[in-house]
Amino acid sequence: MKIRIKFRKWGVMKFIGHLDMMRYFQKAVRRAKIDIRYSEGYSPHQIMSFAAPLGVGITSDGEYFDIEVNESMTSKEAVAALNETMVDGVEVTSYVKLPDKAKTAMSIVAAADYRLSYKEGYESPLSTEEWKRIVKERFLDSPQFTIIKKTKKSEREVDLKPLVYAFSVEEEQGCPAFFLQVSTGSVDNIKPELVLSSVYQLCGLEYCESAIQIHRLEVYARDEQGQLVGLSGMGEEIV
Q: What is the pLDDT of residues 145-185, one digit of tens each?
A: 998 877 777 788 889 999 999 999 999 888 999 999 999 98
Residues 16, 20: Cα–Cα separation, whole Å = 6
Tell me the sheet residues that pair with 176. 171
Query: Residue 217's closest CA among 119, 115, 117?
Result: 115
Count Cβ atoms within 10 A of the Cβ of residue 91 and give its class: 0-12 exposed, 13-18 middle, 19 or more buried. middle
Specify whether the CB–CB gap between 3 and 96 falls below 8 A. yes
The per-residue pLDDT for 36 is 96
Rg of the chain (C-alpha set): 20
Residues 142, 160: Cα–Cα separation, whole Å = 11
Specify whether the CB–CB gap between 49 and 104 falls below 8 A. yes
Specify whether the CB–CB gap between 54 and 60 falls below 8 A. yes
Question: Can you name the CATH fold of 2-108?
Answer: Alpha-Beta Plaits (3.30.70)
Query: Residue 10's closest CA among 142, 95, 150, 115?
Result: 115
The domain ranges of the chain are 2-108, 123-207
The per-residue pLDDT for 114 is 98
The per-residue pLDDT for 199 is 95
Predicted TM-score (pTM) of this structure = 0.92
How high is the mean pLDDT in each 10-residue block of the chain (239 residues)?
Answer: 96 95 96 94 90 94 96 96 96 95 91 96 94 96 88 82 96 93 87 95 94 97 88 90
The per-residue pLDDT for 153 is 75
The per-residue pLDDT for 170 is 95
